[in-house]
Amino acid sequence: MLVDIQRATINAVAALSAGNGHPAALQPHIDAMARIVDQFGETEWNSFASFYHAVLVRLLLTAGRTDAARERLAAALQAADDTGVNFYRAELFRLRAQTLDDADAREADLRTAIATAHEQGAMIFELRAAVDNVELGGETATSTLRDAINRFPADSDWPELRRARALLR
């Protein structure tokens, strides 16, 4: 089962990275990840469920299925509450912000994601949420992004960090 889960996840992430957001191209990956997520409640491996929920949500968002993504996020956040497994909570809030139409609700979820990630010492999740906040909120969110960037060593260089630094220029 674990091999199947990893294979499906790798294939799903590869499909997202390929940039083909056509719903028909993503549907096999959505189906595979939905099966995995639905099975997790029946196994002792449910501590990893929030990560797999997030992969499924990214597929659904890319396919334009915002309502289904929002439903999956509600289930993922509830599972985190039920199990106490919260290592991916900040990322779930960041993704949920992408499903919301209301600007204030999006900002609230991004601020929750930033605060949660900061509290957990999850610098990458904090950076991602701060980037999204700048992209949605503009100039008022740049200080939060600057703080997130400054948590990384100055010589760090990888695509997400470069993208974040570019937003401040």
| Tens-place pLDDT, residues 86-99 | 999 999 999 999 99
CA 102 and chain centroid, separation? 19
Report the pLDDT value the prediction gives residue 21, as an integer from 0 to 100. 74
Q: Mind listing the pLDDT tens digit for each residue in 107-161? A: 999 999 999 999 999 999 999 999 999 998 766 789 999 999 999 999 999 899 9
Residue ranges per domain, the chain? 1-85, 89-169
Q: Mind listing the pLDDT tens digit for each residue in 10-32? A: 999 999 988 767 888 899 999 99
Question: pTM for the complete prediction?
Answer: 0.87
Long-range contacts of 158-164 (CB under 8 A, 24+ apart): 160/124, 160/127, 160/128, 160/131, 161/127, 163/131, 164/127, 164/130, 164/131
Structure tokens at 99: 């499903």
